[in-house]
Amino acid sequence: MDIVTKIAVFARVLGANSGYEQPKTRREITMYNRRFLELAQDEIEAQIRQMPENYTSFDFYAGFERKYPQLYEDFIRIYMDRNSILDRPHAVQIVHTQLMHTLNDRFHHLTRKVRTVRNPKGGEMSEWTRI
What is the mean pLDDT of the segment spanning 25-39? 73
In this predicted structure, what is the pLDDT of residue 28?
47
For 28, half-sphere exposure in the C-beta direction (CA atoms, 13 angstrom radius) is 6
By residue count, the chain amounts to 131
Interval 53-99: pLDDT, tens: 999 999 999 999 999 999 999 999 998 888 778 899 999 999 999 99
Distances (CA, A) of 125 to 13, 23, 92, 106, 116: 22, 25, 15, 19, 6
Distances (CA, A) of 48 to 18, 56, 99, 100: 21, 11, 12, 11
